[in-house]
Chains A and B, each alone.
Chain A
Amino acid sequence: MSYIIACYKWVVDEADIRINPDLSIDTKKSKGKISDYDKNAIEAAVQAANILGGKSLGLTFGGPETRLSLKDALSRGPAEGCWISTGEAAKADAAVTAKALAAAIQKISDVSLVFCAEGASDTYARQTAPRIGAILDWPVVTSVSKLDIEGSTLTAVRKLDDCLQTVKVDLPAVVSVLPEINDAPIPGLKAVLAAGKKPVTEIKAEELGIDFSPKTDVTEIKGYLMNRKNIILSEGEAADKVKELAAYLRKEGVL
């Protein structure tokens, strides 16, 4: 039975991130979570596995803290979990991440479809899916808002700036999905309990025989302040104020 893989990332919960007055970032009290859009990628993989009669698998790449993600990921439906574990993940760039994921996908071998989210909720770099596709030499379809699978053909609707493009590809393929692809359900009691019993494979990164040196080094992460214009329209009648506001917004190109 072939595998349908959902790649997901364990990220720092942005709700807990604090930006200090000196704009340095404090993640000391932050907990991890599955990147929000990845929940849709997981659900897409589970649905596709049902259609294809395959097995859905949640695949992640990360440091020791990523172990916590597996129970949550598996409670969302995948039949199996797989974790590429390495301390190197913290400084990995998109190239390294894609190399690791692609190597794991090759190791799993019988794979017919790989799902990623369009971007991660921390960096939103939108590189993982295209890079995996390039390494595997598989077709890549990005920005997918709707998809159909028939036999070994996948038809996807891509949401572009101002139009919808429908494309067809033969499997195996790599697909990155937009959140509107599905409603990722909140796991129920039985799903949460079942998650603890599902098989999880841990792949030690060194087994994959890839070079973990990133091509991009992150030298600094800091917060930024938006300079606000602080214009207050307080004079005159309400109707005039609205007109004035509309004029300002037009000038700014908002309207």
Chain B
Amino acid sequence: MSEEEKFDVIIIGAGPAGSSCAYTLAREGKSVLMIERGDTPGSKNVTGGRFYTYALEMLDSGLYEEAALERKVTHEQIMLLSGDRSISIDYHEPGFNTGGEAPMSYTILRANFDEWLAEKAEEMGAMLACGIRVEELIERDGKIVGVRAGEDEMYADVVVAADGVNSFMAQKAGLIKDIEAHTVGVGVKEVIELPARTIEERFNLKEGEGAARMILGCTEGIHGGGFLYTNQDSISLGCVFMPAKAAERGKTIHEIFQDFKMHPSIHPLLQGGLTVEYGAHLVSEAGYRGIPRKIYREGFLMVGDAAGFVINTGYSIRGIDLAMLSGIAAARAIIDAENTAEVGPQYLKELDEIKIIPAMKAADGFFDVLETPGLYDKMPNLANDVFNNLFTVDGGVPGSIKKDVMRLIKENGLSMWQLIKFGLKGVKSL
């Protein structure tokens, strides 16, 4: 095996996890090769579009200032849709956008962000090969020692699978099985172009500020939800569904998404815009219990989505920051370990230290909350009914609000007991 065919580390996938891992390793002088399937990093990605800045700060302080980011999120919004009605909550904290400190989160477009981050890793000395699909892992004496792409073989002390949700590399390594329908959602997303000024007017934003909105009740009762992020001069609008449930409805995901776009409270936000991108992707939904039992073997590590590092609490979704953190953790483990056998156990320690595993454990309860029957149709409908009741003035004698609410709970096919149980479950998961 010649010098030219061996690297310290080969990373499969140049997304946030892969590039963060490569950046950290290359900075420490390791020889790193990133292999990316897309023609450019980010070209294969679909993400809602919010990024928590602390992860970039952890990679290298101040890096965020030159990053390919869109708007600082200062408006956190929740929206409940039911029929043609809606309730919106807008939490505005201008402090999220104060100068001097790193703003907490930004909206991003992954095609730009991933390309930029991979470039940073290259600047640190990592090599990047795009447009290449890794087909096989090379195994010797029970260890993973390299990869095969087409006719070419390339070797490394450690191979890092950063190839995203439904990781083929982890399957090849025998660490996960083929994907199970109930553990993933299908996300669809459009990027709709609008002038920056129009976006700022429609969302009541200052220049450079952005809104991040989670939407419940836009999925025809199917487990899932919508999201909307304001980019510099476009809006990312999307929906995530459990695919099995969607299939039972007999409606295509695209049709449900179209209805969502036409909702009287959504459509005016998009009006006059031009759809410049349409994409779909799988999203890991299982949280902590979705992490495979083993995320390493000798010569092989899994990071980011490949390892199931996604937290969905219903009111926020985190994936990119966890991906970057896990990439950093993997790099630290590789740097610190004395031999390849030590890398895996060290990686688990680093994951704990960098707080991914504890954060995911803490959010585990949300998985059950989000499984609650009625959460995606009856409850948003009830909320809208209650508001309707509250704001109806027709000259009659208003009834007791308590009685009205009890009646509406019943009318929505829910019971007080169910709501109390839901509340308890929610409180428990906090």
Contacts and interface: CB of A to CB of B under 8 A. Distances in A.
B132 A189 contact: yes
Nearest to A13: B39
Given A187-B131, A189-B35, 15 more contacts: A31-B40, A188-B150, A188-B151, A188-B152, A189-B129, A189-B132, A189-B150, A189-B154, A190-B152, A192-B129, A192-B130, A192-B131, A192-B132, A193-B129, A193-B154
Interface in B131-178: 131-132, 149-152, 154
A188 B150 CA distance: 7
A192 B36 CA distance: 11
B6 to A, nearest CB: 12
Interface in A184-207: 186-190, 192-193, 196
A188 B127 CA distance: 15
B184 interface: no
B154 A190 contact: yes
Interface string A22-57: 000000000100000000000000000000000000
Contacts, number: 28
A87 to B, nearest CB: 23
Contacts of A190: 5, 152, 154
B146 to A, nearest CB: 11
Interface in A121-174: none
16 contacts: A31-B40, A187-B131, A188-B132, A188-B149, A188-B150, A188-B151, A189-B132, A189-B149, A189-B152, A190-B5, A190-B154, A192-B129, A192-B132, A193-B4, A193-B154, A196-B127
A190 B132 CA distance: 10
A190 B10 CA distance: 13
| Chain A interface residue bracket vs B | under 10
Interface of B: 4-5, 33, 35, 40, 127, 129-132, 149-152, 154
Given A186-B131, A187-B131, A188-B132, A193 B33 contact: yes
A192 B132 CA distance: 9
Contacts of A196: 127
A188 B135 CA distance: 12
Contacts of B40: 31
Which of A187, A188, A189 has the most chain B CB atoms inside 10 A of its CB?
A: A189
Contacts of A192: 129-132
A193 to B, nearest CB: 6
Contacts of A187: 131
Contacts of A31: 40
A254 to B, nearest CB: 33
A146 B368 CA distance: 66
Contacts of B151: 188
Nearest to B35: A189
B406 to A, nearest CB: 55
Contacts of A189: 35, 129, 132, 149-150, 152, 154
A140 B35 CA distance: 41
Nearest to A196: B127
A196 B122 CA distance: 12
Contacts of A186: 131
Nearest to B40: A31
A167 B172 CA distance: 53
A74 B423 CA distance: 62
Contacts of A188: 132, 149-152
A193 B127 contact: yes
A186 B133 CA distance: 11
A42 to B, nearest CB: 15
A134 B186 CA distance: 59
Which of B40, B131, B149 has the most chain A CB atoms inside 10 A of its CB?
A: B131
A189 B40 CA distance: 15
